[in-house]
A = this chain, B = another copy of it.
Amino acid sequence: MSDYLMQDIQLRIPDILRYAAEQHGDLTMPSLDEEGSWNRDTYKTAQQRARRLAGAISSLGLAHQSRIASLALNTRRHMELYYGVTGAGHILHTINPRFSAEQIRFTVEQADDAVIFFDPAFSQQAEAIANACPSVRLFVALCPADHLPDLKLPGLTDYESFIAAAPADGPSALSERDGAFLCYTSGTTGNPKGVLYSHRSCMIHALAASATGNFGVGPGDVVLPCASMYHATAWALPMVAPMNGARIVLPGSKLDGETLLDLCANEGVTHAWGVPTIWKAVLDAALQSDRNLPDLRRIFIGGSAVPQQLKRDFEDHLNVEIVQIWGMTETSPLGVIATPSAALKREAKHTQDEILHAKQGRVPYGIELSIVDEGGKALPHDGATSGRLMVRGPWVVNQYFGHDAPVTDTHGWFDTGDVATVDPLGYMQITDRTKDIIKSGGEWISSIELENTAVEHPDITSAAAIGLPHPKWDERPLLVFSKRSGSAVSATEALTFLSSRLPKWWVPEDAIITNELPLTATGKVDKKRLRQIHADHYQKLEKQD
């Protein structure tokens, strides 16, 4: 008698697309092709093509669990790679094309990628890889033969020719503990770090994300991921949509307001994902042309704070709900989601709005959160005490790819590098990055709250708060900001503005106006650079006194 008496069926990613092909095979997934036209393949076609892709890959004779890379935007061919590469038993390394050439070289070498599938738009990156990484034996351009770019790359062929004659191949000998996706995250220092998602972690994540109180995507819905498929599987939407009988719209490189507005209207998009700037452009396009979006119900915004005005405008003018989500490459990415819990639904409307606006959200089933002090002691969930944010769960990283040791602590917690509060209702709010935190007289000051408050001033367009060495308080904040052109706002006025809204001891002693804040390669404010530039600012001030 066997020990395990239920059917011992592995949780495997390709089974999602098989399910979709069988159960709702005629649903279309409109996709902007590299060659500029809109393709309307169905899930059934996508599955057939993904299986032929798996067959073509299998014929290369690579060892099980080889790494195969994509350099691609959100397109149907990228979606086929999600299912075809994993279906052939290999790992899809989704290269971030925004990484520097050196970062890309590092990731391709560490991953030991055997094949690179690339959008012709990323030909330059492909050439750089070919030059730097002689071990890549095959380059496949994600286009048909007549759009094949004229490049000198090992084995260069086009995707359509590559899969044309291949036999369909299935996920025969796949374990749920096998790797599925390899996704690198770049810090501000050091080399990018790779997170190797397993079939299992992706499947549990997709199932949990599908719950009614999380993404709430169901049959007949239409999802539009403007988050990138090279960023932590675009919030798992390429899995969540076919798993739930929803369509997926893949806009490729067309992320301008007009195009997305048309897409939402014409395809009946119900749920969309992305960063605020993208959705601000859609809002502007809608308001200018006096159009509305009757099908669109929710936009999930992750990756940066949601401007209050954007949220209000979407609700007031378009009757669209903006939902914050927070996650990171290391959390697959769903960490928390700002949908109302049962308890929050009992609060007054304005309390609900305040919490859902200000906070990143609450954990779905599967994720555990903890905030701890510097000694690792758990801190209360009182909404006021902030601590290092620790997470745990079946879709959270344990060890980076190619590293020797786990990155989790002895109790299995992963340190997110964020500093956060958790309120009694379970809503988490990020107050800082650990490395950006300002510690004044032994107490923490939230740089994020300083910055968010500063940009509420109508003439301040962007702001960074950094902690600088201070003779008396160890560290004090300095505000560096840029102002609206033509504005006469002064440093003193900015600080007075902060004083009216924040605890006195949080307000920086000084502020500096700059034309432009320095940015990192991934587009975030480079606070490390700012700290270097202004390192002795307070020490000099003290001497002047």
**A interface residue numbers (CB < 8 A to B):** 1-9, 11, 16, 19, 22-24, 26-27, 177, 179, 195-198, 200-201, 204, 207-208, 210-213, 216-221, 243-247, 339-343, 345, 362-363, 365, 368, 392-404, 406, 408, 412, 414, 426
Contact = CB atoms under 8 A, between A and B. Distances in A.
28 contacts: A1-B403, A1-B404, A2-B399, A3-B177, A4-B398, A5-B198, A5-B398, A5-B399, A6-B196, A6-B197, A7-B201, A7-B398, A8-B394, A9-B393, A9-B394, A11-B394, A16-B365, A23-B363, A24-B426, A26-B343, A27-B342, A207-B208, A211-B212, A211-B244, A212-B218, A212-B244, A219-B339, A219-B340
A397 B9 CA distance: 11
Given A212-B244, A404-B1, A219 B398 contact: no
B393 A5 contact: no
B342 A246 contact: yes
Contacts of A22: 368, 426
A412 B10 CA distance: 13
A341 B245 contact: yes
A424 to B, nearest CB: 10
Contacts of A19: 363, 365
A434 to B, nearest CB: 20
Contacts of A363: 19, 23
A193 to B, nearest CB: 11
A63 B504 CA distance: 62
Contacts of A395: 6-7
A400 B5 contact: yes
B208 A219 contact: no
Given A23-B426, A208-B207, A365-B19, A393 B339 contact: no
Contacts of A216: 212, 218
Contacts of A197: 6
A130 to B, nearest CB: 28
Contacts of A6: 195-198, 200-201, 394-398
Among all A-B residue pairs, the 4 with the closest Cβ atoms: A212-B218, A213-B218, A207-B207, A220-B342
Nearest to A195: B5
Contacts of A179: 5
Contacts of A11: 204, 394
Given A9-B393, A204-B11, A342 B399 contact: no
Contacts of A345: 219-220
